[in-house]
A and B are shown apart, each in its own frame.
Chain A
Amino acid sequence: MARDLLTGNAAAAWGARLAEVDYVPAYPITPQTEIIESVAQWIARGEMAARMVTLDSEHSMLTAAGAAAATGARVFSASSSQGLLYAFEMLYTVAGWRVPLVLVNVARAVAAPITLEPDHNDVLAARDSGFLQIHAETCQEVLDSILMAYRLAEHPDVLLPVMVNLDGFYLSFTREPVEVPDLQAVREFLPPYQPEHARFSGSHAMAQGVAVLGGSAYAFFKYQMQRAAEAAGAVHGAIAAEFSQRFGRTYGAVEGYRLDDAEWVLVMSNSFSTAGKAEVTRLRERGERVGLLRLRLIRPFPHEEIARALAGRRGVAVIDQNISVGKGGILFAEVASALYGRSAPPLVSFIGGLGGRRFRSEEFDQMLATLHTAADTGGSSAPHLLFTAGEYRQVRDMLRIAHGSAAVES
Chain B
Amino acid sequence: MAMQTRREIYKGIKDIPRPEHLAAGTGLCGGCGGLLALRLFHKALGPNAIFVNAAGCLTLLAVFPFSPFHSSWLYTAMASAPAGAQGIRDALDVLIAKGRLARADDLKVVVVTGDGAANGIGLQATLAAIQRGLDFYYFCYDNEAFANTGFQMSPASPYGSRTATTPPTATLPAGTTTHKQDLFELWRAQRPAFVATVSPAYPLDLLDKVGRAGRLAGPKLFISLSSCPPGWGIEPADSVAVAKLAVDSGVWPLKEGRDAAVVHTVTPHHRRPVEEYLRTQARYRHLFDPTRQDDILRQLQADVDAYWAAVTRT
Give chain A's interface residues, CB within 8 Å of chain B.
22-23, 25, 49-51, 53, 55-57, 59-61, 63-73, 75, 89-90, 93, 192, 200-213, 217
The answer to whether B72 and A209 touch across the interface, beta carbons within 8 angstroms, is: no
Partner of B62, one of A63, A71, A207: A207
Q: Which residues of A contact B128 (CB under 8 A)?
A: 55-56, 60
Indicate if the CB atoms of B75 and A209 lie closer than 8 Å: yes
Per-residue CB contact flags for chain B residues 42-81 toward chain A (1 = under 8 Å, else 0) read 0000011010100000011011100101111111110111
Binding-face segment, B101-109, B198-206, B282-290: B101-109
Contact A23 B64 (CB under 8 A): no
| Cβ contact within 8 Å between A65 and B87 | yes
Whether A64 and B87, one on each chain, are in contact in the complex, defined by CB atoms closer than 8 angstroms, is yes
B106 to chain A, nearest CB (A): 6
Contact surface of B with A, Cβ cutoff 8 Å: 47-48, 50, 52, 59-60, 62-64, 67, 69-77, 79-88, 90-95, 98, 100-102, 104-107, 124-125, 127-128, 132
Whether B77 contacts A67 by the Cβ 8 Å rule is no
Is there an interface contact between B83 and A63, defined as CB atoms closer than 8 Å?
yes
Most buried by B among A25, A64, A69, A217: A64
CA distance A72 to B105 in the complex (A): 13
CB–CB A49/B63 < 8 A: no
Question: Roughly how many angstroms separate A67 CA and B73 CA in the complex, as a whole number?
Answer: 11
Q: Is the CB of A23 within 8 A of B91?
A: yes
What is the CB-to-nearest-CB distance from B7 to chain A, in angstroms, rounded to a whole number? 28
**How many pairs, one residue from A and one from B, have CB atoms within 8 Å of each other in the complex?**
161
Q: Is the CB of A93 within 8 A of B91?
A: no
Cβ contact within 8 Å between A51 and B87: no
A–B pairs, 20, beta carbons within 8 Å: A25-B87, A51-B90, A55-B128, A56-B124, A56-B125, A59-B77, A60-B125, A63-B81, A67-B52, A72-B100, A73-B94, A89-B79, A201-B101, A205-B69, A205-B72, A207-B69, A209-B73, A209-B76, A210-B73, A212-B64
Known: A22-B94, A60-B83, A67-B74. A211 touches B52 (CB 8 A): no
Q: Is there an interface contact between B125 and A202, defined as CB atoms closer than 8 Å? A: no
A208 touches B86 (CB 8 A): no
Contact of A68 with B107 at beta-carbon distance under 8 Å, contacts A63-B76, A63-B77, A63-B83 already known: no
> Which has the most chain A C-beta neighbours within 10 Å: B85, B90, B98?
B90
- Do A72 and B76 touch across chains, with their CB atoms under 8 A apart? no
Residue of A nearest to B70 (CB): A205
Given A67-B87, A68-B87, A22 contacting B69 (CB threshold 8 A): no
Nearest opposing residue in chain B for A92, CB measure: B77
Note all chain A residues with C-beta closer than 8 A to B127.
56
Q: Is the CB of B124 within 8 A of A57?
A: yes
Contact status A64-B84, CB under 8 Å: yes
Distance, CA A25 to CA B94, complexed state (A): 13
Contacts A75-B91, A205-B71 aside, 4 further interface pairs with beta carbons under 8 A come to A22-B95, A60-B125, A68-B87, A71-B92
> Would B63 and A68 count as touching, CB distance under 8 A?
no
Known: A23-B91, A211-B59, A211-B63. A201 touches B124 (CB 8 A): no
A61 to chain B minimum Cβ distance, whole angstroms, is 7
